[in-house]
């Protein structure tokens, strides 16, 4: 039942989300935050695509648009051959069985007044898949799968540690046998030793249930470890995509290079050749013209402030949008 010949489970094209900025007594729209501004992503069945970028670059917004937890402004999202943006709310609810999400914050993403059994079993109840003892058995099964004692069912979220709560969130996401899981910073709030346990769990479950992951995170080392391919996002756009090994060994885009050079390495003798960036991330309400990265780019040339570079293949499926990587790759003049 795979939707298309390349084995792509998810194809995102030209995805946009522009949040209106309202000002004044009449709440007139005075502008737009271009949180996601033309994103193309492809996920093959069974792979993990890492999505990295600075805070505010639009990673969460992109993930939520794919799930239609917020409505995109434009673009298309094709999942397993079906255009999600054309579905009615009822059809979309059915589709959500196949696409699940795991959130960053294991503390606030679980209802504190519900017992763990009800939290994990809720999707089964909503979709009327199982009830009574049958549901209880399935919940017990799910808890075992994520390494928790089935007795956890009877307890409340506050009785668990951060890592255990993240396991509860994962069990809940698995309840409906999804095919795609959007993991939005699933280990960012966890300590290193717990993070390692959860990363391993996610990799084991992926193998067992042939899951596909969109893995959003800002920790570049974790992303390198878990991903097959990695996409780098900057101000609402993808600036580079490649398989993990080639992206980390041979980053093409100046932003990716700067990002990688800034990662602190656990080696006191490392002599980091850090590439400094000028200033802070500009506001997505007023992205710079041309290449959105040009005001901070250490190697920008004249053309960068005028023309927007396209995301083009620089060999072997390694895509980058930079005039220095693709001297002839300019988009239309702005």
Cα 295 to Cα 149: distance, rounded to the nearest angstrom: 53
User: How is residue 82 annotated by DSSP?
Assistant: E
# binding residues, ligand SF4 (CB under 6 A): 14
Q: Name 41's bridge partners.
A: 12
Kindly tell me which residue out of 31, 56, 162, 282 binds ligand ATP, with binding defined by CB under 6 A.
Answer: 56
Exposure b/e, 182-214, CB count within 10 A at least 16 = b: bbbbbbebbeeebbebbbebbeebbeeeebbbb
CA 38 centroid distance within chain: 15
Helix (H, G, I), strand (E, B) or coil at 36: strand
- Note whether 162 binds another protein by CB under 8 A: yes
Query: By C-alpha distance, which of 211, 220, 178, 188 is closest to 50?
Result: 220
- 38 exposure class (CB count in 10 Å sphere: 0-12, 13-18, 19+): middle
- Note whether 60 binds Mg ion by CB under 5 A: yes
Per CB under 6 A, the segment of 1-9, 55-63, 87-95, 115-123 that binds ligand ATP is 55-63
Per CB under 6 A, the segment of 50-58, 125-133, 172-180, 308-316 that binds ligand ATP is 50-58
CB closer to another protein out of 272 and 317: 272
- Note whether 323 binds ligand SF4 by CB under 6 A: yes
Cβ proximity of 38 and 18 under 8 Å:
no
Per CB under 8 A, the segment of 102-110, 122-130, 216-224, 302-310 that binds another protein is 216-224
Cβ proximity of 17 and 70 under 8 Å:
yes
CB closer to ligand ATP out of 286 and 299: 286
**Residue at token pair 């980058």:** 320
User: How is residue 282 annotated by DSSP?
Assistant: P
Per CB under 5 A, the segment of 3-11, 54-62, 189-197, 266-274 that binds Mg ion is 54-62
- Note whether 60 binds ligand ATP by CB under 6 A: yes
Kindly tell me which residue out of 297, 311, 314, 319 binds ligand SF4, with binding defined by CB under 6 A.
Answer: 297
# binding residues, ligand ATP (CB under 6 A): 13
- Note whether 291 binds ligand SF4 by CB under 6 A: yes
**Residue at token pair 């030793």:** 193
Nearest distance in Å: CB 318, ligand ATP:
23
Cα 317 to Cα 70: distance, rounded to the nearest angstrom: 30
Angle at 184 between CA 17 and CA 266, to 5 degrees: 125
176 binds, among ligand SF4, another protein, ligand ATP, none (CB under 5 to 8 A by kind): none
Per CB under 5 A, the segment of 3-11, 31-39, 53-61, 157-165 that binds Mg ion is 53-61
Give the nearest residue (CB) to Mg ion. 60
Kindly tell me which residue out of 129, 156, 248, 295 binds another protein, with binding defined by CB under 8 A.
Answer: 248
Kindly tell me which residue out of 60, 61, 104, 195 binds another protein, with binding defined by CB under 8 A.
Answer: 195
CB closer to ligand SF4 out of 130 and 325: 325
Cα 85 to Cα 15: distance, rounded to the nearest angstrom: 11
- Note whether 164 binds another protein by CB under 8 A: yes
- Note whether 262 binds another protein by CB under 8 A: yes
Tell me which residues touch ligand ATP (CB under 6 A): 19, 33, 35, 53, 55-61, 218, 284
């Amino acid at each position: 039942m795979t939707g298309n010949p390349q084995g792509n489970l998810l194809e995102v094209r030209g995805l946009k989300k522009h949040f209106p900025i309202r000002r004044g007594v009449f709440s007139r729209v005075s502008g737009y935050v271009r949180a996601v501004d033309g994103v193309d992503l492809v996920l093959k069945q069974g792979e993990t695509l890492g999505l990295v970028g600075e805070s505010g670059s639009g990673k969460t917004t992109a993930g939520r648009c794919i799930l239609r937890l917020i409505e995109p402004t434009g673009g298309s999202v094709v999942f397993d051959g079906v255009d999600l943006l054309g579905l009615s709310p009822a059809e979309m609810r059915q589709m959500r069985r196949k696409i699940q999400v795991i959130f960053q914050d294991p503390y606030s993403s679980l209802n504190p007044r519900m017992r763990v059994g009800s939290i994990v079993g809720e999707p089964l109840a909503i979709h009327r898949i199982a009830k009574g003892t049958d549901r209880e058995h399935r919940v017990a099964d799910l808890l075992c799968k994520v390494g928790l004692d089935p007795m956890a069912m009877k307890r409340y979220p506050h009785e668990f540690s951060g890592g255990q709560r993240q396991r509860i969130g994962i069990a809940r996401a698995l309840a409906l046998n999804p095919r795609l899981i959007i993991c939005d910073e699933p280990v960012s709030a966890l300590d290193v030793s717990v993070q390692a346990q959860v990363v391993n769990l996610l990799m084991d479950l992926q193998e067992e249930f042939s899951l596909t992951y969109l893995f959003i995170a800002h920790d570049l080392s974790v992303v390198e470890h878990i991903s097959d391919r990695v996409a780098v996002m900057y101000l609402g756009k993808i600036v580079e995509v490649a398989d993990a090994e080639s992206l980390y060994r041979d980053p093409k885009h100046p932003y990716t290079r700067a990002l990688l050079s800034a990662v602190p390495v656990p080696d006191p003798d490392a002599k980091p050749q850090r590439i400094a960036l000028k200033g802070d991330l500009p506001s997505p309400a007023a992205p710079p013209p041309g290449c959105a990265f040009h005001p901070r780019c250490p190697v920008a040339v004249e053309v960068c402030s005028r023309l927007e570079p396209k995301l083009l293949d620089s060999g072997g499926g390694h895509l980058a949008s930079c005039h220095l990587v693709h001297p002839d790759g300019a988009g239309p003049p702005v």
